[in-house]
Structure 1
Amino acid sequence: MSESGTSKTLSHGLQVLELLVEHPQGLTLTEIAEGIGVHRTVAHRLVRTLEAHHLCRRDRFKRISLGTGLVRLAEPVEQDLRTLARPVLEELSDAGRASAHLVVRENAEQVRMLMIVEPRQARMHVSFRSGQVDPIGRGSAGLALLSAEPPVEGEREEIARARTRGYAVSVGEIAPGITGISAVVPTGRDTPGTAIGLSLFEAPDPDELGRLVVASAQRLGSLLK
């Protein structure tokens, strides 16, 4: 145990998983050791333990990546929220002819993409990876969540604007050329903030899309209360 009362070994194991999330193409054992700042022997023991629980795996080139055991562990996470949100996201995606996203606040600095639903009738659409983590101050979902808080000195103009109109708009902040339009879901619960929105290549009428997003946020909020 460390002086803070936490397990140093467990902490290192979680750091390995977090490092592999950032490198989906896989890493060598040496790269993992350097990435978390431990000796290669320690990294080897950590990886072997994670492999035993199917949380990581090695390919034929001995590169290490995340394992299928994580799927089973992640399945119950926010299951109720995802179950209720899916039909709302599908309807929003079809109405806006764009990918619809559900984003939750991870902590004070980050948001996580919990779910994305792609449109069924669009020639092209934006695609993101579920579980993707982004800074809260960048992208429409994070800006929308920040707009639900009281104003603070020095905040971005986009946050104040979102607070006024009820939804946030960002362009090229999460991915080049991609517009995001998001609104906060009014859950009425003591839970991490949740935002719903659209991601698309072009937004010729952001106000109309904003109204669609706000309506969907209200609908999901009523289901969660």
Structure 2
Amino acid sequence: MAAASDTPDGGSTPHSQTLARGIRMLEILAEAEEPMSIAAVSAALGVHRSIAYRILRTLEDHGLVVRDAGGALQLGPRLAALARSVSRDLQAAALPTLTAVANELTMTAFLTVLDRHDVVTLVSVEPSHAHAVLVQRPGTRHPLASGAPGIAIQSVLSEAQWRDLGGEHPRAEAAEARVRGYATSHDEVIPGLASVAVPLTVAGQPVAAIAVVYVASEHDAVAIGARLRAAVSTIARDLD
């Protein structure tokens, strides 16, 4: 049975289960580290393969999902075009600065925004002169409670925003990040990786953070945090 929700006129309207499953399929493919078979996607969705296939065909028709030569599924180019429209001004202002940060620190730099209980990557830039880099794909999401970008965003949320998040509660590290101006994490989102992030708040834009990710080592988090804080100032100034 479809769920119902209140509408402005006091009535209720059913949710579309098919649409919800299609959106969830896109999320599953975005979270996957490699293309997935239809069997794996249907299992992740918890539906029969025939249902997953019908959803897939619709998403393919709109260019949101494509299949490789072996028939495995991955996100399509149309989704990237749609994503560019999300917080367009913020993305445009952040891209040059993220590029400078990535090349200066020789680390992948990225912009994340708060999406309900998750943190989602909008823009990612890899350093141009590095032998090996870590990839942070746009569309990647992880819980607000995990990772440096999530902690950084937590550090600037108001009491009203926390109430809107329901059962979410700030981590102790969020208070520390508020004092020092940046957040750090190690082995949280991906084992073996570390991240440093700085919150970015601009009127009219979603709560955001810029971050870098790198193999956990002896990098100076304080110096990285200072560089990211300068980057945030540049982005905020360009958006004014």
Superposition TM-score, scaled by structure 2 size: 0.79
Cα distance in 1 for partners of 2:19, 2:92 equals: 31
Aligned counterparts, 1:70-89, within 5 A? 70-89=79-98
Q: Secondary structure at the match of 1:116?
A: strand
1:12 to 12, 15, 21: 21
Unaligned 5+ runs, structure 2: 5-12, 163-167
1:158 partnered with 2:169: no
| Alpha-carbon shift at residue 134 of structure 1 (Å) | 1.0
User: Does 2:41 align with 1:27?
Assistant: no
> Do the aligned residues in 1 keep the contact of 2:98 with 2:109 (CA within 8 Å)?
yes
Deviations 1:74-95 (A, max 9, x none): 3322322221111111222233
Note the C-alpha offset of 1:106: 1.5
CA distance, structure 1, for counterparts of residue 169 and residue 222 of structure 2: 26
Aligned to 1:196: 210
For structure 1, the residue ranges without an aligned partner over 5 or more in a row are: none
Indicate the residue corresponding to 2:65 in structure 1. Answer: 56
- Confirm or deny: 8 A CA contact 2:90 2:205 kept in the other structure: no
Q: Does 1:44 align with 2:53?
A: yes
Aligned-residue identity in percent: 32
Partner Cα separation in structure 2 for residue 12 and residue 131 of structure 1: 17
Relative to structure 2, which stretch is displaced further, 140-149 or 41-50? 41-50
1:113 to partner: Cα distance: 1.4
Q: CA deviation at 1:198?
A: 2.2
Normalising by structure 1, we get a TM-score of: 0.83
Residue number among 122, 146, 151 corresponding to 2:154 in the alignment: 146
1:17–1:222 Cα change, 3 Å:
same
> Are positions 1:125 and 2:133 aligned together?
yes
Q: Quick check: 1-10 or 145-154, which moved more? A: 145-154
Q: How many correspondences in the alignment?
A: 222
